[in-house]
Amino acid sequence: MGLGMAMFSFFTRKAAPAKKHDEHKGPLVAIIEDEQDLAQILKFAFEAEGFSVMTAPNGEIGLAMVRDRKPAIILLDIKMPRMNGYQVLATLHQDPSLAPVPVIVMTSVASEENITDEEWAKRLGVARFLSKPFLPEAIVKAVREVLAEKAD
């Protein structure tokens, strides 16, 4: 099954009745992603699972949003206009109020080195590193795992 069909299958299985944003009671997920189609797919997937979601199209807006709302977790793209994900990570790590917020990096940035996603996560100081493309259910699962680890 191709990625498109898998995403369609995920959404037809998980589709929940439409809710207003404030009706979501779950943890707040910040999605900082310039590919708006992907951001909307992820937003829908997380809301279908009961999470609250906020999205930003670039690092500058994302940092302002994160400072204002203090999410439970941040999903961060690396290649973005205005302020890339590396710059966002550096800023997050330097801010004592934001440094504890777990970050999952999701990117299509390829490495010339032959290292695993786990090694990338260690090098960047993030909770997880996911290479694009991925299925929405994979990132929902990763978020649940990271939030459970943080709660322990």
Classify 119 as helix, strand or coil. helix
Average pLDDT, the chain: 84
Q: What residue has token string 């960047």? A: 124
Encode pLDDT of 72-127 as tens digits: 999 999 989 889 999 999 999 999 999 999 999 998 766 556 677 678 778 888 99
CA angle 61/64/68 to nearest 5° reads 140
39 Rama sector, left if φ>0, alpha if ψ -120 to 50, beta otherwise: alpha
**Pair 27, 52: CB distance under 8 Å:** yes
> Which residues does 31 contact at the CB level (< 8 Å), separation at least 6?
39, 42, 43, 46, 53, 54, 55, 56, 75
